[in-house]
């Protein structure tokens, strides 16, 4: 197959970054001029990597819960022709559900990534003025899945994903991680999503669950990745009061973190390499944003 895909506009650079992957996977040849993007998806399977939102859904105790209600039901009002409509309202934190962390989510010693003094660039009303969610561009990048649990399995809550463990998973899958990639780690905990108590696992006072330790995070960042994500509420191994993985990735290295992903279908089909596409909500001043990610393979 030899198709000529043409792209216009501000996303052209992002598509260039995925070009080598698409050429190898789909046999697509690129020219950045037009906007005939539908051809990219022809013959590909689309995997939805987002978790659903619902009242009572899991949320980290540090963040407010998801709230939902209809504000108008069908039948409350009718047009002269008998038509009716319904509407609803939601409220939630920006780090609830499937989401991405901005670099302003964590600080160290009173400073944000890049040396910004946190006190000088924040307010309750306006949020942050640097590293904000609306400045995270739509993401079109090569994705790699590291299935730490193995198909149909779930990691124990005390499982620690060290550098050696992650390296072994990648080698076992034959996965190669490159600069600019999005690396997603499956623990299997997405299977608990409908049971908030089990998923958050905070019965001892703070959430507990599997994830990378600092050495694992350093191994990931050493590849020059754009973002790392997982199917857990905290990404890193918790409890961890100092959150060293968040500090290393967000503050020290400028690597985004994604949490509460649904990676079950990718693991079931043993899809370890794919085109990752996602668009964070443009929340002005936000430290993070809800995300609807998909994988094309």
Q: What is the pLDDT of residues 21-71, one digit of tens each?
A: 555 555 544 444 334 456 666 778 999 999 999 999 999 999 999 999 999
Higher pLDDT, 290 or 241: 290
Q: If pLDDT is split at 50, 70 and 90, which confidence band does 137 have?
A: very high
Does pLDDT of 148 surpass 60?
Answer: yes
Q: What is the pLDDT of residues 77-129, one digit of tens each?
A: 999 999 999 999 999 999 999 999 999 999 999 999 999 999 999 999 999 99
Q: Give CA–CA dist 151/188, Å, rounded.
A: 8
Q: How many CA atoms lie within 13 A of 134 on its CB side?
A: 10
Torsion of CA 102, 106, 110, 113, to 10 degrees: -40
- Token reading at 202: 């905070």
> Is residue 282 within 8 Å of 64, Cβ to Cβ?
no
How many percent of the chain have pLDDT more than 70? 86
> What structural domains and CATH numbers belong to the chain?
3-44 (no CATH), 47-56+93-296 (3.50.30.50)
Let me know if 39 is exposed, middle or buried by CB neighbors in 10 A (0-12, 13-18, 19+).
middle
Q: Give CA–CA dist 282/40, Å, rounded.
A: 25
φ/ψ of 17, rounded to 5, equals: -65, -30
What's the pLDDT score for residue 151? 86
**How do beta strands 67-72 and 87-91 pair?**
antiparallel
Which residues 6+ apart lie within 8 Å of 164 measured at CB? Answer: 215
Q: How many CA atoms lie within 13 A of 109 on its CB side?
A: 6
Higher pLDDT, 197 or 18: 197
**Predicted TM-score (pTM) above 0.75:** yes
């Amino acid at each position: 197959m030899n198709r000529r895909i043409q792209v216009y506009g501000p996303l052209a650079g992002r598509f260039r970054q995925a070009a080598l992957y698409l050429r190898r996977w789909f046999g697509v040849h690129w020219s950045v001029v037009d906007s005939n993007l539908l051809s990219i998806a022809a013959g590909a399977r689309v995997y939805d990597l987002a978790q659903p939102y619902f009242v009572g859904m899991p949320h980290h105790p540090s963040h407010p819960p998801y709230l939902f209600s209809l504000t108008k039901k069908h039948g409350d009002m009718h047009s002269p022709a008998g038509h009716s409509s319904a509407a609803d309202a939601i409220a939630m934190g920006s780090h609830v559900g499937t989401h991405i962390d901005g670099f302003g989510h964590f600080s160290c010693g009173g400073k944000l990534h890049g040396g910004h003094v946190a006190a000088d660039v924040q307010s309750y009303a306006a949020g942050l003025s640097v590293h904000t969610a609306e400045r995270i561009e739509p993401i079109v990048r090569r994705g790699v899945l590291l299935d730490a649990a193995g198909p149909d399995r779930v990691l124990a809550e005390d499982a620690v994903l060290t550098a050696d463990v992650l390296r072994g998973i990648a080698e076992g899958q034959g996965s190669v991680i490159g600069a600019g990639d999005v690396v997603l780690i499956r623990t299997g905990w997405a299977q608990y999503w409908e049971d908030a108590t089990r998923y958050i696992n905070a019965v001892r006072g703070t959430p507990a669950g599997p994830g990378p330790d600092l050495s694992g995070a350093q191994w990931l960042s050493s590849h020059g990745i754009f973002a790392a994500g997982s199917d857990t509420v905290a990404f890193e191994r918790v409890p961890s009061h100092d959150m060293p993985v968040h500090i290393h990735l967000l503050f020290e290295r400028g690597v985004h973190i994604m949490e509460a992903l649904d990676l079950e279908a990718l693991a079931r089909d043993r899809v370890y390499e794919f085109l990752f596409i996602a668009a964070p909500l443009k929340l002005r001043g936000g430290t993070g944003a809800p995300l609807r990610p998909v994988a094309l393979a």
